[in-house]
Amino acid sequence: MKFNQLVLIGLLIFLLAVAWSIRYQSVVNYLFSDEAVYYMMAQSLAFDRDTEYTKGDLIRFYKDWHGGPQGVFLTRVVQNGQEKIYYGKPLIYPLFLAPFVFWFGLQGFLVFNSLLLVLMVTLGYLYLKRYNPEQVALLFSLTFFLVTASFIYTFWSTPEVFNMFLITSGLFLLFYEAPPTGPGQGLGRKYLSAILLGLAAASKPSNGIFILPVLVGSALSRTEVYQNRKKGFISEVTYLFKRYRSTLGVGFVFLLVIGIFYGIQFLITGQWNAYAGDRRTFYWQFPLQSDNAPFAGLGEAMTNDVYFEKSFYFNPKVFLYNLFYYLFGRFTGLLPYFFPALVSLFCFGVTLGAPLRGTLLGAIGVSILAFILMAPGNYHGGSGAVGNRFFVSIYPAFLFLVTRVPGFGTILATWGVGLLFLAQILINPFYTSYNPAQHAFRFPYKMLPAELTVINALPININPSLVQRFSADTPSYDLYFLNDNSMGRTREGFWVRGEAKLEAVLKAREKQDDLLLVLENGPFENTVEVTAAGTKRTFHLDGDERREVAFPLKTSFPFFTEYLYPITIKSRSGFIPRFAYEDISQRLPRLFSLNKVKDDTRYLGCLIQISLNPGKIGLVYQKKGDLDKAIFYLEQAVGQEPENLALQVALGEAYQRVGRFTKSRIQLERAKQLIPTYVAYFTSSMGKEKPSLESLSSENGSIHLEALRRLLTQTFEAEDLQRTAGSISLDAMASGSRAVSSQPGPTGQGAWAQEQGTDPKPQAPSSRSYLIYGPFQIFPPGAYQVKYRLKIKDPIRPSGADNPAPTLALLDVNSGRYGVLAKRPLRGTDFISPDYYQDFSLDFVNPEASSLEFRVETLGAGSLTVDKVEVYPLLPFQIFYWMGVSYAKEGAWDQALDQFLPLFEADPGYPNLSDYIALGWARLKKWDEALKVLQNGAGPAQELIPSAGSEPVLNPARRSSLQTHNGILASLYEEGKANEIPPETPLYKYLMRVQEAFQPRIPVQITFDNQLALVGYDLPGDQFKPSEVVPITYYWKALAEMSKNYAIFVHFSKRKLTSSDFIRKAKQALGFSVKDFFQQDHFPLEGMYTTDRWLAGEIVKESHQLEIPPSVEPGRYEIWVGVWDPKDTRQRLKAGGQDKVKIGEIEIKKD
C-alpha cells in the first residue's frame, strides 16, 4: 500500500476514533441555534420518520442536553384546521444525517462529518495528482482542508461540511475528467455533478451558482463536433440545439433535484421556503413543554418574509468596507481563516488556467458579492460563526482553480501563515466553537480591523459580558467590547484592565457630535490614552483623580439606521486593590469610593463612564469655557428635561457669560418657577418629610431666600459625628451646649511654637487624627456650601511675609465614591480672636448622588473646638446670583443689588457675593455701604470689626481669602487708583490697605499666552545655604477667565555652559545625580484655588517653603519660571516665544 494511501487511511481512523470515543457533552455545554434544530430534525427523521416538532422530540433532546435546544427554529402551520409545528430548516442535511444518528446516537454527526472530510481530502488529492507529483498533491490537499477554519465545522452538527462535500464532489466530477475524445464522453459525470450540486442548492440556495461552470463545460465539450455546420436559419437552430442539448439536460437534472426537495418541503409543511411563514426562535422556554407554553407567546419572530423591509439596506460605503473586511477582517476575513483560498488564487494567476476555470472564478465572485450585497449586516453567518461560515460552502471551489502547485515552498508558506492564525483555534476546536470570539483578542488577529459593518452579528454577541446596553442615561447606547480588556462592568461604566488597551464600538440610535467621557483613576498616577471616532487625546491622572471630558466625534460609521463610533482606551498602569494600600484603614474607604471589592485581585487600570446625555455634555463644555457648544447642548437638554432645575440654571448662566443678558434673565425666571419642585425633591432625597412651602413666599410674592436656606440646610452637630481624636465638652456658646475639643501635645509648645517657625512633633492627637468625620449620608448631585463652626483657644500671633503661618488643621469634604471633593487648610491667623466661634466655608460639587462626610483633621498643634457642620445646596440660590451678575454686566446696578441683597441676607458667605455688592455700592457712589459689606462680608454672625481712628482694620474673617487672592476687589482697587473713588473715603483707604498685601518685593511682568502673568515674587535675600528652608512668594495676575488647571514650574539651574534641560534629563535618565539643579513644581495655592476658578483681573498670591537640597553645588543659580498644562496637552505656555523665563538669580554659599 502506498504511503499516500496510508496517510489517508490514518486520517480517517484518527477522526473516527475521536468521533466515536469522545463524550460530546463533556466538551461542550449545549447545542445552540442551527446545531440544535438540525440535530433534533435528524432525531425526528431517524426515530419518528417525520419532521414535525413534538413533545417527544423535546424530551428526547433533554436526555442528551439538560439545557434544552437553545435558539431552535420552529415554524407553525395550520393544515386542515389543525395547528402543527415543524422545524424551520431545510430537510436535506438531516435526511442524510438521520441514519448516522440512528446508528451512533449523538456521535453520529461526528462520524458523518469525519467521513465527508476524508472523502474531500481524497478527492482533492486525486484531482491535484493529475497536475502535480503525488506527495505535492496530497500535502496541498491536506493543507487546503485542514489548515483552515472550515475544519472547525467538522465538530458542528450543521450542514457546512455536508455542503462542502457536495460542492467538492460536484466540481471534482467536472474538472477531473480527461479531455474529450469524442461526442458524449464525460456527459454522465456532468449529470451526476448536476445531481450533487442540486442537492447543495437544496441545502443552501446560494450553492446553486456552481452549476454555472458545469453548464458552460457541457457546452464547450461538444464544440468540435459541430464545427462544420451549414448556413441558414434551420441549420443554425439545429446546430444550437445539438450543441447545447447536454447543457439543457444538465440544467434540467439540476432543477429537478431542487424541485424534488422543495416539493417534499411543501408536501410536509405546506410552504416552499423553510425560512418563511410563522417562523420563530426559542430560548429557555419551548413550545409544548407544558400546557401553558404557547408558540406565539414564547418565541422571537425569525422569518424571511419581512427581510427587505426590516433588514436589507444598501450603502456604497458599507459595500466597499465589506469587500475589504471579507478579505482582511479580524473575525471573518479570508486572510486569517481561509488563507489556502488566497494561495489558490495565486496558483491560478501563475498558471493562467483554462477558460472553464475562469468561469468558476466568476461563479465564486458572484457568490461572494451576493452575500455582501444581500446581507450587508451579516454576510458571514451570524454571531456563532468561526470565521466566515457562509464562505465554507464557497471555499472548495478555490481548490479547482489550482492546477500546478509551484513547489513545496508554496505549501510551507501556506502552513506558516495559516497556523500563525489558526493554531490557537485548531488546537481545541471544541473550545473555539463555543467561544468563537476569544482568539480574535490575541495576536495576530488584533492587528486586523474589526468588522464594524456586521457589529450585531460578530461572535462577541454570544458572550453577554462583551455586549452591554447602557441605559442609566438618556439617550441609551450599546457598547460592543472587541477584546477582553474590560472588567467590572455595571450599568454605568466599566474598568479597563491595567497596562492594556481596550477596543470597543459605541452604537447610537442617532448621530452624535460629542460624548462625555468620565475617567476615575486608581490610587496611583496613570496615563490614559483615548481615541474616539477620529479624536485622540492623552490624559495624565493623579491618584484617585476623577476627570470629565467632552469628546468631539469627528466621524461616524453608518450601520443600517444607526451610527457606530469606534473607541480605544489604553491604561498605561494599574493596581491590584488588595495590595493598593498598605494601611487597611486607608484601603477600605478608598476602595469603597471607587466601587471596588475590598479584596479584589484583578489588575485594574481606569474606571470609565460614557454618556451621550446632552445636559451632561453641555455642563462639561460650560466648565471648559466652550460656551457655544455648552448652549447648543443645554438647549437640547432643557427641551428634553424642562423640570431639571440644574440644567435651567446652567443655561441661564451660559447665556449670561456670552453676553445674551436678556435671554439669560428670561431663562432664570423660568428656573425660579421650579424652586418648589426642587425643594420637594431635595428634602425627599435627604429622607425628610415634604415641607410646607408657605414660608418661602415673601409679602411681594417673591421667594424668601433666608427661609429657603433654613429649609434646605442640613445641620450635623459635632458631638453626633464620629471622631478619632478629641472629646466631647460642655460649651455654653455651642449650638447644642456641647462640642468636640482637642488639646495640643503634652510638650506645651502648641500653636505658638509653630507660629514661631519651630515644628514640634505632635503628640495627641496623632498627625492623622479627625476631630469629626461623617455622617456618611447620601446627598443628591449638585453644588453645595458647607460651613464648619470652629474656635481656637490658643492666642493668635501674626506671621510675617518671611514666616508664613503653619497649618493647624485641614477641612475637607469626602465622597464615598469620588474621594476628596474640596479642602482647605486652617491656620491660627484665620481666626478673629481666641475662644470665638467662627464659620469657615467650603464650596464643592457632588458629581452624582453619593455618601458624603465632612472632616476636620487636626495636626495636633492647636486647641481646636468644633461646634457643628451646616450644609446646603447652592443651586436655587445660583438663580438670583446669576440674575444679579447679568444686570451688573449691563451696568444696571440697582437691579443687580435687588438680586444680590436678599441673597446676602440669606448667606453673606456666598462665593464672590460680597465683592459684587461692594462693587455695586461703589458704582452707585455709596462708599460707606460698600465698606460695610467688605468689612462684614463673613456674615451677620460675626461682629463688625471697628476702624482704628480713620484707618479701617482688615476684617480677619476675610483674611483667609485676602491672604491668597483679591477677587473683584482688584476692580475696585483699579477704580481707586483712577480717582473714581475719593481718596478721603474710608473705602479708598481700605482698598489701599488690602492691596498692600499684593505688592511684591521684586516686581516683574511676564505674560504667558495672554492667560496669566507673573507680576512679581518675594525672597528674603539672594544668598542661601544647602538644606536651608527659604520662604518664597509668587504673585500672579489672571488676564482672562481660564478653562484649564495650569501648573507652575520653577527651576533653579546653575549658570554654566553645560546647563540645559536636555543634558539634565539625559543625566537623570542614565542614573547620574544632578547637583547643579533643583526645582519647585507645584499647582498654585497647592491646588485649593485652581486657575480655572480665577477671576479676570485678580491677583493671586501664593507662599511656599523652598527647601534647598543638601547636596546642591555652591555657585550662582538662575531662577526660571514657566506655566504648563499637566493634565491634557502637557504643553507649556509661551512667554515672549519662550516656554520658560528667567526672573532672577540667587547664590548658594558653602555650608
Chain segment 878-889, per-residue pLDDT in tens: 999 999 999 999
How does pLDDT run across 2-18, given as a tens digit for each residue?
Answer: 888 899 999 999 999 98
State yes or no: pLDDT of 800 exceeds 60: no
| H helix or E strand, kind and range, residue 468 | strand 467-470
| CB environment 767-784: b (16+ within 10 A), e (fewer) | eebbbbbbbeeebbebbb
In the chain the domains, ranked by start, together with CATH numbers, are 310-431 (no CATH), 463-612 (2.60.120), 714-873 (2.60.120.260), 1002-1148 (2.60.40.770)
Measured distance CA(524)–CA(368) in Å, rounded: 52
Lowest mean pLDDT among 161-170, 920-929, 1050-1059, 1086-1095: 1050-1059
The pLDDT value recorded for residue 102 is 93
* Res 356 pLDDT > 70: yes
The C-alpha cell at 926 is 455709596
Indicate the SS3 state at residue 268: helix
> Residue 307: what pLDDT?
64
C-alpha 367/C-alpha 396 separation (Å) is 13
User: Is residue 745 pLDDT above 50, yes or no?
Assistant: yes
pLDDT above 50: residue 597? no
> Among residues 318, 321, 319, 341, which one has the least CA distance to residue 329?
321
Q: How far is CA 88 from CA 72, 252, 274, in A?
A: 8, 28, 5
Residue 937 — pLDDT band, cuts 50, 70, 90?
Answer: low
**Cα(182)–Cα(731) distance, rounded to whole angstroms?**
122
Q: What does the pLDDT read at residue 1064? A: 65
Going by pLDDT thresholds of 50, 70 and 90, the confidence category of residue 365 is: very high
Beta bridge partners of 773: 722
pLDDT of residue 238: 60
HEC string for 415-466: HHHHHHHHHHHHCCHHHHHHCCCHHHHCCCHHHCCCCHHHHHHCHHHHCHHH
Average pLDDT over residues 809-816: 89
| Tens-digit pLDDT profile for residues 990-1012 | 888 878 888 899 999 999 999 99
Own/partner pairs for 414-420, CB < 8 Å, 24+ apart?
Answer: 414/143, 414/147, 414/339, 414/340, 414/343, 415/143, 415/147, 417/339, 418/143, 418/147, 418/148, 418/339, 418/340, 419/147, 420/444
Predicted pLDDT of residue 248? 87
Give the residue from 972, 971, 967, 965 showing the smallest Cα distance to 997. 965
For 1069, residues 6+ apart whose C-beta sits below 8 A from its C-beta are none
**What does the pLDDT read at residue 321?**
94
Question: Rg of the chain over CA atoms, in angstroms?
Answer: 41
Q: What is the pLDDT of residues 866-875, one digit of tens each?
A: 999 999 999 9
What pLDDT does 939 receive?
Answer: 36
Q: Given the C-alpha cell 407553525, which residue does it identify?
A: 76
Over residues 523-531, mean pLDDT: 92
pLDDT at residue 952 in the model: 44
d(CA 618, CA 634): 5
Q: Cα 28 vs. chain centroid, distance in angstroms?
A: 33
Chain segment 311-349, per-residue pLDDT in tens: 677 889 999 999 999 999 999 999 999 999 999 999 998
Out of 119-128, 319-328, 776-785, 909-918, least confident range: 909-918
For residue 1143, give the C-alpha cell: 526672573
Average pLDDT for residues 741-755, to the nearest whole number? 47
Low-confidence winner among 808-817, 1004-1013, 1057-1066 (lowest mean pLDDT):
1057-1066
- Which residues are CB-neighbours of 85 under 8 A, at least 6 positions away? 52, 53, 54, 74, 75, 76, 77, 287, 288, 295
Q: What average pLDDT does the chain have?
A: 84
pLDDT at 762 over 60: no
Helix (H) or strand (E) run with residue 566 in it: strand 562-571
How high is the pLDDT of residue 900? Answer: 93
pLDDT for position 812: 93
CA–CA gap between residue 412 and residue 471 (Å, rounded): 51
The mean pLDDT of 845-863, rounded to a whole number, is: 87
CA atoms of 56 and 48, how far apart (whole Å): 10
Mean pLDDT of 531-541: 90
Q: Residues 410-439: pLDDT tens digits? A: 999 999 999 999 999 998 888 888 889 999
Residue range 117-131, pLDDT digits in tens: 999 999 999 999 999
Closest CA to 1031 of 1019, 1022, 1014, 1023: 1019
pLDDT-derived band at 793, boundaries 50, 70, 90: confident
Q: What is the pLDDT of residue 748?
A: 33
Distance CA 330, CA 333 (A): 6
Residue 466, pLDDT above cutoff 60? yes
Asked whether the beta carbons of 638 and 617 are under 8 A apart, the reply is no
181 pLDDT exceeds 90? Answer: no
Q: Is the pLDDT of residue 714 over 80?
A: yes
Residue 314: predicted pLDDT = 85
Q: Rounded distance, CA 841 to CA 783, Å? A: 13
- Judged by DSSP in three states, 1020 sits in coil
Is residue 1078 scored above 60 in pLDDT?
A: yes
What average pLDDT does this structure show over 553-567? 89
- Looking at the whole model, is its pTM more than 0.85? no
Residue 1065 confidence class, pLDDT cut points 50, 70, 90: low
Instruction: Please state which of the ranges 45-54, 70-79, 888-897 shows the lowest mean pLDDT.
Output: 70-79
Mean pLDDT of the region 295-310:
71
| pLDDT tens column, 196-249 | 999 999 999 999 999 999 998 887 554 444 555 556 666 556 666 666 778 888
Give me the pLDDT at residue 1071, please.
64
pLDDT band (50, 70, 90) for residue 761: very low
Distance CA 59, CA 38 (A): 16
